[in-house]
Structure 1
């Protein structure tokens, strides 16, 4: 095994700068936990002083225990008018109380003059004393040399001087940033070679990292080439999300490092979780999965008829560069009814369900799963719904109630005031008919309240269950307001959280499906605890 590569994920900061990428604090926590399970070394949580979401995230994450990953707070060097010990940005970084702090400074003389409006020597000063102030107060201190490659091309001596000052200030890793994403792979070797020569004369030994943006479609290539040139830390995002055209895509970089370059990293131990991690981030960001994405896309290992299928059946290596299950994906023979069996068996084992490869019910589950996926259902971020589906097919799911009908009325009586929303439902629990109504803050909340009102007297445990998140995605836009939608609902109790899904051309119908699954899952869990 070769040297160890550090994987630094910045999805929660750089990723959130992507257009239409919006996540809540709870989403950020879920992504952090998923990245930790994947084996990511460092997770950049955001800029503590930038917005309330980041501030709340750092407060919440302090009370959580991660198995491997270390959380990083991100910020800039001090403002020129402030001393380091009085600079609000540096103080907010310390207030985040993370084991890692990453700060960036200007490497490009153009930015020093035109963005900071200070002298070149002044910039060197604020880099060194910002890092020197932080160094004794944090476990790991990283320095992002912003616009390093552009700065080097314009003024190599000054760009190198900036990283020299970062080293003098105490940075343990220097990350070379292609912030504008305009550097091409052939440009990297001479620049990185010059950097390594420069570092030989510096006061301390440091590690080097790479932070690439994808504006020239070279972020992954630049990152992998940098590793081959001796760089030890790669920064990127899951699915390549990021500002403008995105960041280096870790879901492509990590398997290349592990399977193609034979290098060590913690993610190697858990790389079969890469596919589900990729899907989870997409779902929580309420963005569609890129089916053509390498390694983790639905089509990455899909084969459609003809010579390809015949060859793959005999030997998958004929048309696959790696085995799909290594990254948690599956081979899909598009004319075959066998696609998806491995995933179903994996889930059955995870949930303690007795199901073997020879069980005829496996084909039933797989067939139903494929049909539901064709309708728009996705279960990567709604595993509770998928477990209920499997239990129903296996005859293990109890019918806790029988739904008869629901009605939602929205009454707008004053244009200056919010509309009045009321939901009425009719269902049976055993032989008892329940017919009740409830007001709510919107139709979904009214439905939720009406269901709780109807069921809680039969199942008191529902009182401790709360709906924590609600997302809607339009699946097809060609029919305008007639488009099909997918609703994702997250619920929790005092033990854990779970997610459920519904799909329909009617948003209330889709919401109802997800709500029903959420309640059924809670009741099923209670039965299993007894």
Structure 2
């Protein structure tokens, strides 16, 4: 039977110390629910002694009725030269109503002298008194040994004394923290093993990522005997972040054979990672291992040709194990294998001997040469393939558009778009004002189409990007516009290219509307999974 490793998530506390991360109480409650579904064992909700937001969170989290995770409150050991029962921070933990407390104390003699400016003996008493006070009040206590690895390397005997005092006071867990993130995996493994020999309490690991080793250090610690891993979703955290649980969990479970969460819960990992990034309003790296959008994406024609035969040729696991999916990108590097795969996903009859198929392959490559980028605009690619293979109904055709930009003293800059389109033989002439030319064009086009397609009111633009290439041409350079559009359930991306930014924007905008109107909207997390191109046997 696989050995169990408990997962301690500190996204809501340590994760919020990362630059740019700010979570409201509502955000924290939503994420806590997702973490519970994922199956983590502990959710560190915050520091109730530090701010009112965390106090409110601990009050309201009780209403969630979490089924799997235990919520824990964070704090420090008592202040020097005070009694534990009189310490405000420790009392805030009790008042929060949690069943589990996580407190940190000093392991490094340098920190004892310089940071809290007390004696080594008083620091040991602070650790013992604080843990015992919380245990006497019926809480499960996780003791985080801050800067343990630096402390151990500087004064091994004293560092071990600190965790022995935590054990003597009744700590349920002792977690060794690489707080500065400067340790290496072999050091972590050696020190964790020695700490495990010094105490009988189960050991955990809390690693920071300052050397890009937080995940590696966490795995090394587990192999050396640690049975709890602390980290955050997507690796959020102070400075360079914490150990990324989205990598830690699948590495432990799929590569090393430990048991962290159920197989069904592991299948939600990608969804949880992307949900947390959305709620935190943080960009999620496309190449993030396991859960990134490109983690199982294939672009080179040789690669795609190989995965047509067997997915294992270029995939180290089956993506669905972590809730992700295989993607095939189409670009100037693509061979016909890439388009065959895309056609299979769209359930199109893509006969490579069909002259139409051969022509669309050449057209894609030519458009990419002109500056189009279909790997980031699947909706435009789908329109192109469907038009070439099946033919598409022309839902509207442009007759003309005009943009007027006026700057006046009273109103500032005002943009007006006048659009004339033909919809099923009827010419529609509309005008609209917007906060820019693209917004004005979008509003005017919608106004023309709503009488024929009222559902168009449910979609909206969510992102707009412009990329200038051929910079040597300065203001006459060609531009690529990428537009993301969404409705209540789905989102899709389209592309336009031109030397005129307004024309490029119109091309991308028109594709986004056409894509919605033909009823072929596809979305990563809503569409049915395509048939796998190969089977990986584990």
Q: Fold-level match, TM-score > 0.5?
A: yes
1:216 aligns with 2:244: no
- Counterparts in 2 of 1:392 and 1:278: CA distance versus 1, 3 Å: farther
Among candidates 486, 492, 495, match of residue 500 of structure 1:
492
Tell me, yes or no, if the aligned pair for 1:275 and 1:329 is still in contact at 8 Å: no
How far apart are 1:262 and its partner, in Å?
Answer: 1.9
Counterpart in 2 of 1:435? 429
Counterpart residue number, 2:115: 115
Q: SS at 1:215's partner residue? A: coil
Quote how far apart the aligned CAs of 1:409 are. Answer: 4.8
Q: 1:325 to 1:484 in 2, by over 3 A?
A: farther
Residues 234-265 of structure 1 show CA distances to partners (whole Å, capped at 9, x for unaligned) of: 33455656544444344543443233322223
Mapped pair 1:182 → 2:182: yes
Larger Rg: 1 or 2? 2
Contact kept in structure 2, 1:135 and 1:141, CA below 8 Å: no
Cα deviation for residue 229 of structure 1 reads: 2.0
Distance apart, 1:149 and its partner CA: 1.3
Q: Find the counterpart in structure 2 of residue 248 from structure 1.
A: 243
Structure 1 225/411 Cα, relative in aligned 2: closer, same or farther at 3 Å?
A: same
Q: What is the CA distance between 1:393 and its match in structure 2?
A: 7.8
Q: Mark the runs of 5 or more structure 2 residues left unpaired by the alignment.
A: 523-538
Contact 1:29 1:61 (8 Å CA) reproduced? yes
Matches within 5 A, 1:249-328: 249-266=244-261, 268-269=263-264, 285-286=282-283, 289-290=286-287, 298=294, 322=317, 328=325
Question: Which residue is equivalent to 2:151?
Answer: 151
Report the TM-score when normalising by structure 1.
0.65
Give the direction of change, closer, same or farther, for the CA distance of 1:462–1:279 in structure 2 (3 Å limit). same
In structure 2, relative to structure 1, the CA distance for the partners of 1:463 and 1:30 (3 Å cut) is farther
Number of equivalenced pairs:
504
The residue correspondences of 1:479-490 to structure 2 (distance < 5 A) are: 487=482, 489=484
Change (3 A) 1:57 1:133: closer
Match of 2:526 in 1: none
Unaligned 5+ segments in structure 1 are: 349-353
> What do the CA deviations read for 1:279-314 (whole angstroms, capped 9, x no partner)?
8888963465348x68968587869799x9999898
Cα gap change, 1:335 to 1:451, in 2 (>3 Å): closer
Deviation for aligned residue 1:268: 3.8
| Pair 1:77-2:72 in alignment | no
Residues 269, 390 of structure 1: alpha-carbon distance in 2 compared, 3 angstrom cutoff = farther
Q: How big is each residue's C-alpha offset from its partner over 1:432-477, in whole Å with a ceiling of 9 and x where there is no partner?
A: 444333444555555555455545555555666666x546486979
Instruction: State TM-score, norm by structure 2.
Output: 0.64
Q: CA deviation at 1:179?
A: 1.9
SS in 1 for 2:229: strand
Q: 1:517 to 1:503 in 2, by over 3 A?
A: closer
How has the CA–CA distance of structure 1 residues 396 and 303 changed in structure 2, closer, same or farther, with 3 Å as cutoff?
closer
Q: Could you say what the CA RMSD is over the residues aligned between the two structures, in angstroms?
A: 6.2
1:5 matched residue in structure 2: 5
Question: In structure 2, what is the equivalent of residue 351 of structure 1?
Answer: none
Aligned pair in 2 of structure 1 residues 129, 48: CA closer, same or farther (>3 Å)?
closer
Partner of 1:196: 196
Once the two structures are TM-superposed, the CA of residue 3 in structure 1 deviates from its matched residue by 1.5
